[in-house]
Structure 1
Amino acid sequence: MSRLTVALTGDCMATRGAPITADPAARALRDLLRGADFAFTNLETVPGAGRGHPVHNAAGGGGLIADAGILDGLADAGFTVLGCANNHALDMGVEGLLGTIDQLTARGVPFAGIGADLTAARRPVYVDRPGGSLALIACSATFLPGQEAAPPSPDLPGRPGVNPLRHTATLDVTAAQMKVLHEIDAQSGLRARRAEARTLLGIDPALPGPGRYTLYGARFRVADAPGMTTACDPGDLDGIERWVAEARSRADLVLVSVHAHEPGPTPEDPGEYLREFAHRVIDAGAAMVAGHGPHFLRGIELYRGRPIFYSLGNIVSQIELADRIPAEDYANVPGMRQLTPGRYFAELSGHGRRLFAPHRRYWRSLVPVLTFEDGCLAEARLHPVDLGFGEPVHRRGRPRLAGPVEAKEILTDVADLAAAYGTRVRLTPTGTGELVLPSPRPPDDTA
């Protein structure tokens, strides 16, 4: 019988060294990661400022750029395989992304989710251990236009970038509300300004079909009741699914990593497209799905006996310790004259009164350690993690196993979030949690 363990974590925003401190609880976390056959994290930092140029980040204050030495610290912490598909992968542009690839390749670090073209970004990376193999496929639903990898044409090379999971949002409106939208379009002059487009295209681009309307950058659809839903881009979904099926035939376990900030009806709910995606990749052969992006924990679903973590929060968060700030980000702080990284982040966060600093849930996380026997999930142990809420900026953001009180609070929250998917979390006397698993099914069962 083959037995493999996989430790999963969320976003790793390391900008300084030594992510594992001398705290015994931090060293215990490192032992946990090192003890797994595979330990995964999402690298949300550009490791090296020697290549590329800063790109404009629509969110502002978002450049995550650090010395390449952070990679050595992550290896020492026990991480053995990295996902790199996220909205910060191109903070230093295409050249910075290619520099990330070079840094990881030179160190022999397995990674997935970015590449010199779409095929390179989509394809899995395979990691072999004496007991078996893991394939990782990583993708991102959150990125700026043009940051998605593209295939070559007969005439030009492909575009370096992230493995994209594009999606659409549709607003459902009643027939009466749709009528009002038509009236606004006509009376505001928007329709008149599309005259040239109608001449060239032969159709009005705002009217893609009966009962549908595209206006103000949003898609509207006539329905019985108002609402909103999201759906995966079919081409991206099919493309990723194809590689998952390929990986399943070539590795014992397939891990799919997905970076997705977009919420559903509440911040704790993932966008509807994300659940559609997770189910499809498991149907194609994935053994587990690790989500991240919103920087706090979301629910856990067991689909066909295989775990989906809709967000694992952060494992390292040193955004405010970044010391390479683009000029456009400095400019977002009005009246700032003495341009230093520390003052910039202090002003941006209102000296700890806004953004992430005052929110406890941002500084709590979870490390699931999954045990698979012959490809079937046999155990899922949940380890609560504390990132130092309320500590000084230079100390918080480095992980340690949570103490008893904090651990119980984290696991209670996780149990409530998981219950929405019919998943039960059992708290144990040791301060960890366990997923209550159904009877195991063969990993290649597609019935």
Structure 2
Amino acid sequence: MAAPLRLMFGGDVMLGRHVRDVMRRDGIHAPLGALAPLLRSADLVIVNLECALTDGTTRWHGAPKAYYFAGPPEGGQALSDAGIRLVSVANNHSLDYDMQGLADTVRVLDAHVIAHAGAGADLGQALAPAIVPCGAILVGMAAFCDHQDDFAAADDKPGIAWLDLHDETAAIDAFARALAPLRAAGVRWTILSLHWGPNMVTAPGPHLRRLAYAAIDMGWKIVYGHSAHIFHGVELYRDCPILYACGDLVDDYAIDPDLRNDHQLLFEVQLDNDVLRRIVLHPVFIRRGRAVPADHTQRAWIYARMQALCRDLATTARMEDDMLVVERAAATPHE
């Protein structure tokens, strides 16, 4: 039997502010280096790039923002060396350093052969999917964001693939239009990346769950969510994984003592042929701008929290060889 295809999903990668300082002081690999062996073991690693990669200093020309994130251009090398080959840039920080910051980010990603989806020089580029070969199997992703409508791309303006997800009819239509070119290209594993919902909430809202189900019903194979800064439970719908929120992979954010946003996860989705085999959950701890494997105490907290969150979504996450695993047999009773 052929080995399963292993897709590794991480949450937000924020390489600005203190994380940028860490990279300048301790080397570009400092934020992700401790996780690199695990990441490089996967067939494909996918994250949300929650910053521009630029040396530019001109901030977004529109309404003032609370936070502006810019990682160094060397961040492209750091991502590549960590094994990251596909990123979403549909988020509310891709234009923090204005149009030039976005252009610089795209240039850096292209220079390091990191595929990207969700933003570009115009609406067509923002909506264009990214396709990555994994051996003979094609994996493809389209990306959307429901934050920061003034970042929205237009036919003659750079920006992100922005959607008002509260207009569920329009959102579902956009999902269907994004799926069509991936199907036409023969992509076997289609990923819908969504930067959605409010920060620091512990579960997806009802309309996000409806949208995820609609995406799977029309043919998307994996729904990949992020933005909450903490992880949510996994749901299996029609044997397809819905990762509502993958949390953060590295950042410098203040720690909420109850939500423990320094306790995070990597989601390893294992696929056999055209079906999900299982999801292995790898605990991560963010410490002073660095992501490291969680220690025993941190793992115990993360596992207990994730099991409870999965249970709330009618999904069973069980321990297997000291790892937390969600298997296809645990699919929710929607079918």
**TM-score normalized by structure 2?**
0.88
Letter in 1 for 2:139: L
Contact 1:136 1:255 in 2 (8 A): yes
Alignment of 1:289-328 (within 5 A): 289-318=223-252
- In structure 2, what is the equivalent of residue 47 of structure 1? 53
The letter of the residue matching 1:239 is A
Bigger fraction of residues in strand: 2
Fraction of identical pairs, as percent: 28
Report the counterpart of residue 349 of structure 1 in structure 2: none
Quick one: which of 157, 160, 177 aligns to 1:159? 157
Are 1:116 and 1:161, in contact at CA under 8 Å, matched by a contact in 2? yes
SS of 1:276's equivalent? Answer: helix
> How far, CA to CA, are the matches of 1:260 and 1:22 in structure 2?
25
Q: Deviation at 1:246? A: 3.1
* Residue in structure 2 matched with residue 111 of structure 1 by the alignment: 116
> What is the CA distance between 1:434 and its match in structure 2?
0.2
Moved more, 92-101 or 30-39: 92-101
Q: What is the distance in 2 between the residues matched to 1:56 and 1:126? A: 32
Aligned equivalent of 1:93, options 98, 121, 130: 98
Q: 1:374 and 2:273 equivalent?
A: yes
* Counterparts of 1:96 and 1:233, CA distance in 2: 31
Q: 2:333 aligned with 1:434, yes or no?
A: no
Deviations 1:401-435 (A, max 9, x none): 111221121011011111111111002342x2100
CA deviation string 1:276-305 (max 9, x = no partner): 221122222222122111111122111111
* Gap change, CA 1:285 and 1:19, over 3 Å in 2: farther
Cα shift readout 1:364-414 (whole Å, capped 9, x = no counterpart): 1111111111121112111111112xxxxxxx1311111122112101101
Q: Aligned pair in 2 of structure 1 residues 301, 19: CA closer, same or farther (>3 Å)?
A: farther
Contact kept, 8 Å, 1:232 with 1:277, in 2: the verdict is no
Alignment of 1:207-218 (within 5 A): none
SS for the counterpart of 1:277 is helix
| Cα contact 1:13–1:44 (8 A) shared by 2 | yes
Give ranges in structure 2 of 5+ residues lacking alignment: none
1:189 is aligned to none
- Rounded to whole Å, the distance in 2 between the matches of 1:404 and 1:64 is 32
CA distance in 2, matches of 1:365, 1:439: 22
Which one of the candidate residues 179, 188, 196 is aligned to 1:260? 196
Q: Could you tell me whether the CA contact under 8 Å between 1:248 and 1:286 is conserved in 2?
A: no
CA distance, structure 1, for counterparts of residue 58 and residue 31 of structure 2: 35
Task: Say how many residue pairs are matched.
Answer: 322
State how far apart, in whole Å, the 2-side matches of 1:57 and 1:310 are: 29
- Determine the structure 1 residue equivalent to 2:13: 12
From 132, 137, 152, the counterpart of 1:127: 132
Instruction: Say if 1:20 and 1:399, in contact at 8 Å, map to a contact too.
Output: no
SS where residue 101 of structure 1 aligns?
helix
In structure 1, runs of 5+ residues without a counterpart are 153-157, 168-230, 320-354, 389-395, 441-446
Match of 2:264 in 1: 365
Q: Which residue of structure 2 lines up, in the alignment, with residue 182 of structure 1?
A: none
Shift of 1:38: 0.5
3-state SS of paired residue (1:438): helix
- Contact 1:363–1:397 (CA under 8 A) maintained in structure 2: no
Cα pair distance change 1:237/1:51, threshold 3 Å? farther
Aligned partners of 1:146 and 1:54: how far apart in 2? 10
Residue 139 (structure 1) aligned to one of 119, 139, 144: 144
Task: Determine if the alignment matches structure 1 residue 232 to structure 2 residue 167.
Answer: yes
1:148-184 Cα offsets, whole Å, 9 max, x none, are: 112x3xxxxx2211111213xxxxxxxxxxxxxxxxx
User: How far did 1:267 drift?
Assistant: 2.3
CA contact (8 A) 2:87 2:116 kept: yes
In the aligned structure 2, how far is the partner of 1:55 from the partner of 1:372?
A: 43
| Cα distance in 2 for residues equivalent to 1:138 and 1:22 | 25
Whether the 8 Å contact between 1:53 and 1:95 is mirrored in structure 2 is: no
Residues of 2 paired with 1:281 and 1:413: CA distance?
27
Amino acid at match of 2:272: E
Structure-1 residue corresponding to 2:152 = 148
Identify the match of residue 302 of structure 2 among 385, 410, 423. Answer: 410
Cα distance change of structure 1 residues 245 and 283 upon mapping to structure 2, 3 Å threshold? farther
What one-letter code is carried by the residue in structure 2 that aligns with 1:251?
V
Structure 2 vs 1, CA of residues 416 and 316 (structure 1 numbering), >3 Å: closer, same or farther?
same
Is the 2:144–2:194 Cα contact (8 Å) retained in structure 1?
yes
Compared CA separation, residues 113 and 164, structure 1 to 2 (3 A): same
Question: TM-score, normalized by length of structure 1?
Answer: 0.67
Query: 4+ residue runs of structure 1 moved beyond 4 angstroms?
Result: 18-23, 56-59, 357-360
2:53 counterpart letter in structure 1: P
Deviation, 1:232, is: 3.4
Are the counterparts in 2 of residues 46 and 96 from structure 1 also a CA contact under 8 Å?
yes
Distance in 1 between residues matched to 2:14 and 2:274, nearest whole Å: 31
Query: 2:179 — aligned with what?
Result: 244
Equivalent in the alignment of 1:228: none
Q: Distance in 2 between matches of 1:64 and 1:55?
A: 15
Q: Give the whole-Å Cα distance in 2 for the aligned partners of 1:273 and 1:96.
A: 33
Question: Do the aligned partners of 2:45 and 2:83 also contact (CA within 8 Å) in 1?
Answer: yes
